[in-house]
Amino acid sequence: MAVTQLRLTERNAVSSGQEEFVVLRSTAAGTIVLPAVCRHRGGPLNLATFDARAAVCPWHDSRTRCPAPRSRRSPFVLVRRGRTVTLVGRDVERTYRLPVLRPREQ
């Protein structure tokens, strides 16, 4: 286990082993950690839109459920304070920034 802090104004993505994850803020699910790559054909989930508790891939509209922050489906436990997110989980090898879409105004 490792503890990593991300300041969301600077970085919002992490790589852990062979996987990459992005920290997103959606209006429906709050702050979540999602795989950065869609399981269907590798679409960019950092550009997903949100539908209730799922991220909708921009390429073919597959839905990826957003794990609750402390669920076993999430690779990280995440705590958000202001613009800083603390991730506790698998070792993080690299942090970086990915572009994200702004949530739609409702």
Q: Which residues bind ligand FES (CB under 6 A)?
A: 38, 40-43, 57, 59-60, 62
Least Å from the CB of residue 11 to ligand FES: 24
Residue 80 tokens, joined: 């958000």
Least Å from the CB of residue 90 to ligand FES: 23
- Nearer to ligand FES by C-beta: 7 or 41? 41
**What single-letter DSSP state applies at residue 103?**
P
- Nearer to ligand FES by C-beta: 36 or 38? 38
- CA distances to 4, 6, 57 from 49, in Å: 26, 22, 7
d(C-alpha 41, C-alpha 99), whole Å: 19
